[in-house]
Chain A
Amino acid sequence: MSALSLLPARRSVPGVFVALTLTLAIGWLVVLLDGGQLFNQSTTVSLLHVAAGLGLVAVGQTLVILGGSLDLSVAYVISLSTLVAAETMNGSDGAVLPAIGLVLVVSAGVGLLNGLLVTRFRVNAFIATLGVGLLLKGYLDNGYDGPAGTTAPSLVQALGYQRVGPVPVSFLLLIAVTAAAWFALSRTRFGHHLVAVGGDPEVARLSGVRNDRVLVTAHVLCSMCAGLAGIYLASRLGSGAPRVGTEGLYDLESIAAVVIGGTALAGGRGGVIGTVGGVVLLASIDAIFNQLEVDAFFKQVIRGVIIIAAVAVYARRAMRKAA
């Protein structure tokens, strides 16, 4: 085999960005024919807001999925975080930082529990995180009937509505978190080890990687990302909302975004950049259908088709690579 036939490992643009460009182009055209305008200020801003919320969760989800795990508790962590944030602040600007700190500690605690269940107790990640999620659901259902607490006005202003041009601050936060995650994956030992554990736990173990520690860390980071998403939602809504996470389908949508973004559901391959592409793709489809005022059911059907198609395309590629 000649050296020329070996491409360096740097990967080409993930397919999701091709799909995203196509979707935006077609969407723009269809909306235009319908007499509307896809990229006006208000639609762009709301698209980016949707993407910011889902994106924060999905970047965290990418970490655990890369490591061969999964987190189904994120939706409940989000709801819990909005409440912790809003109740701690209780409308006071002075309490913003303590509130954010408390949310991160609480969510990290949930992540730690998830991680320990998956590693130490060898509970399947699907079941462990679903169980922890249900635990949180029990607490939320029992303690809250509706919105509670008040988000500090300064946070509502800064994170909920402040913009730089058409770009909300929350989307900039997503970019920052994504950059940090990308950096962690490519430039830290933790990142290298995480991808190795997801790729083949036995190979990682025999190479001296402490698999359990790596996976627990990933779970903690994933939950903290969900905590950040909760803070953001509290700043949008102005209060804590006990069911915002589940009603927003953040658990399954975040997993869908990760998969559409080209990360293998079994772990070991992928990255956060693709995930952000997947998030923006899902948000764009939302925006387009909202513009066209399409039936909500039809919208769900289209999303389903896209998710399945994405996975099928990736599976075919993987097969061709193996052959």
Chain B
Amino acid sequence: MSDPPPTPLLTLRGIGKSFLGVRVLDGVDLDVAPGEVHAVVGENGAGKSTLMKIVSGGHAPDGGTVEFAGATRTFRGPRDAQRAGIGIIHQEFNLLPERTVAENVYLGHEPVRRGLVDRRGMLDRTTRLLASIGETTLPADARVGQLGVAQQQVVEIAKALALDARLLIMDEPTAALADHEVELLYGLVRRLQERGIGLLYVSHRLAEVFDLSGRITVLKDGRRVTTVDTASTTADELVRHMVGRELSSYYPDRAAPEDRGPVRLNLRDAGNRKLRDVNLQLRAGEVLGIGGLQGSGRSALARAIFGVSPFTTGDVTLDDRPVRLRSPRTAMRAGIAYVTEDRKGEGIVPRQSVLDNALLASRAVFAARSGRAARTARVRELLAAVEIRGAGDDQEIRFLSGGNQQKVVLARWLALNPRILLFDEPTRGIDVGAKSAIHDLVRRLARDGAAVLMISSDLPELLGMSDRIVVMRDGHVAGELPAGATEEEVVALAVGTVREKAQ
């Protein structure tokens, strides 16, 4: 722990926060000096976003104090924090695409002359504001919807500065930027520093963190692990701080090498808007784990295979025959099933019964009249087999626990006898008991010859379940690890501290 620079702009002490009894932040201390870039790093779910929301007034902390510019503050909402001088640049921009740059920058506090909006003054001020952060090519009267992502980010920053922000929070600012745009952001960050603005910089990408920040705070499981001077640490050390949890739970036995069957699904240089040059083989009988950070292309991969946003380049073969998976319907008919990450939004129809939810896919794919009774009987059997507890088949599914809902979703897909199963965060938000039931089920499916692809942010789960692990980064495969890999190896590939092998 290094000494904080004198007179911090922002000081957090003992910040704690729980949601529904789950502790997401616990006693976090942090401070930012004027003109300092303070980076916050940590795995998915370490509590970074919650902490940033507390600083910017989005959440109220359960415990601890927020001190800003010399006074203790309790922000009643984002606007309150804004007025105090704290701006936040979200990954999702808060801009109106149909309005001009100037109209966006001054929204809510338009300059007025004689009771009317001073349009000329607003344009002039915006132009000057943009120039002060080194942006001279962006016309203040351009429509924001026409701008590229990098320029929209500049508009967001200008919007915060127009409100005299003294602390700026940047949440994954480079996630949506192309490589050459990242350079522009670097310049912008340095100019903000020169103006004495403090920056809280949240990023997964360690390269940036090392390029920009003065100090780094590592969060893990809602606690602050350490705060270090960037100059006196290394990427490897940071990664060690970010991971290293005890492996405690039980996982079913992996597949023996002789149980692995032929290649079912083969991707060669496959890509689309979010993916590029993905080469991947999925074998019958194995569980292939997909690791990586949020937004690294894990879900995009599953969605491409399932035909939701299909591959536009490269070749896909299924059992050695070339296929085009153009829509979920074609994918389902080819024997692919997809258990989505967003169970509430994409997995279940909340107000329909358990049985209707379980029948959804079979009804959609098979002709209406053929074997309806047999199908229903089979689905009832499956529902019994996945052991849904405490609910009848006719109950509305929204009253079930998350774990039981997930089992219904599984039954739905098993009714189609899929040969390839894609799981996206299959146990997120599910209690421990249901979790291990689902783990057993996944393994049993693989043992019965299905090819399973499983995406998980839960590192112990990923390591415990997978026969092989493919780690994604920035829309392509960063590397592959065998069973028995460590958390450090996965995270190192995901954040890019190890050089990829030339492909």
Please give the residue numbers on chain A whose beta carbons come within 8 Å of chain B beta carbons, in ascending order: 1-3, 6-10, 186-189, 191-193, 195-196, 199-200, 202-209, 268-269, 321
**B110-A9 in contact (CB<8A):** no
Taking A9-B99, A189-B112, A192-B110 as contacts, is the C-beta distance between A203 and B94 under 8 angstroms? yes
22 contacts between A and B (CB under 8 A): A1-B151, A2-B137, A6-B138, A7-B146, A8-B141, A9-B100, A187-B119, A189-B112, A195-B98, A195-B99, A196-B99, A199-B97, A199-B99, A202-B94, A203-B94, A203-B95, A204-B107, A205-B79, A207-B94, A207-B108, A208-B108, A268-B96
Q: Among A1, A207, A268, which residue has its beta carbon within 8 angstroms of that of B148?
A: A1
Please list the 3 inter-chain residue pairs (A to B) with the smallest Cβ-Cβ separation, ordered nearest first. Answer: A208-B108, A207-B108, A9-B143
Min CB distance, B357 to chain A, in Å?
Answer: 27
The verdict on B103 contacting chain A, using a C-beta distance below 8 Å, is yes
Contacts of B97 in A (CB 8 A): 199
**A189-B141 in contact (CB<8A):** no
Interface centre among A2, A199, A209 (most CB of B within 10 A): A199
**B96-A200 in contact (CB<8A):** yes
Mark each residue of chain B from 101 to 119: 1 if its CB lies under 8 Å from any CB of chain A, else 0: 0010001111010011101
Output the nearest chain B residue to A10 by Cβ-Cβ distance: B141
Min CB distance, A188 to chain B, in Å?
Answer: 6
Contacts of A1 in B (CB 8 A): 147-148, 151
Output the nearest chain B residue to A183 by Cβ-Cβ distance: B116
Min CB distance, A106 to chain B, in Å?
Answer: 28
* Bound Cα distance A6, B155 (Å): 15
Interface centre among B96, B98, B99 (most CB of A within 10 A): B98
Min CB distance, B108 to chain A, in Å?
Answer: 3
**B151-A8 in contact (CB<8A):** no
**A207-B151 in contact (CB<8A):** no
Contacts of B496 in A (CB 8 A): none
The verdict on B131 contacting chain A, using a C-beta distance below 8 Å, is no
**A268-B98 in contact (CB<8A):** yes
* Bound Cα distance A321, B99 (Å): 14
Contacts of A192 in B (CB 8 A): 103, 107, 110, 117
* Bound Cα distance A11, B147 (Å): 16
The verdict on B142 contacting chain A, using a C-beta distance below 8 Å, is yes
The verdict on B145 contacting chain A, using a C-beta distance below 8 Å, is yes
Output the nearest chain B residue to A195 by Cβ-Cβ distance: B99
Output the nearest chain A residue to B90 by Cβ-Cβ distance: A206
Min CB distance, A209 to chain B, in Å?
Answer: 5
B387-416 at interface with A (beta carbon < 8 Å): none
Give the contact-size bracket for chain B: 20 to 34
Min CB distance, A269 to chain B, in Å?
Answer: 4
Contacts of B141 in A (CB 8 A): 8-10
Min CB distance, A212 to chain B, in Å?
Answer: 14
Contacts of A204 in B (CB 8 A): 107-108
Min CB distance, B317 to chain A, in Å?
Answer: 30
* Bound Cα distance A191, B99 (Å): 12
* Bound Cα distance A276, B117 (Å): 24
Mark each residue of chain B from 63 to 87: 1 if its CB lies under 8 Å from any CB of chain A, else 0: 0000000000000001100110000
Contacts of B146 in A (CB 8 A): 6-7
Contacts of A321 in B (CB 8 A): 145
**B142-A209 in contact (CB<8A):** no
Taking A196-B107, A199-B99 as contacts, is the C-beta distance between A208 and B112 under 8 angstroms? no
Min CB distance, B78 to chain A, in Å?
Answer: 5
The verdict on B139 contacting chain A, using a C-beta distance below 8 Å, is yes
* Bound Cα distance A208, B119 (Å): 19
**A9-B117 in contact (CB<8A):** no
**A8-B139 in contact (CB<8A):** yes
Output the nearest chain A residue to B148 by Cβ-Cβ distance: A1
* Bound Cα distance A6, B79 (Å): 31
Contacts of A202 in B (CB 8 A): 94
* Bound Cα distance A202, B95 (Å): 10
* Bound Cα distance A200, B96 (Å): 7
Contacts of B138 in A (CB 8 A): 3, 6
* Bound Cα distance A269, B103 (Å): 13
* Bound Cα distance A204, B79 (Å): 11
**A6-B147 in contact (CB<8A):** yes
Min CB distance, B84 to chain A, in Å?
Answer: 13
Q: Among A3, A8, A187, A205, which residue has its beta carbon within 8 angstroms of that of B117?
A: A187
* Bound Cα distance A278, B143 (Å): 24
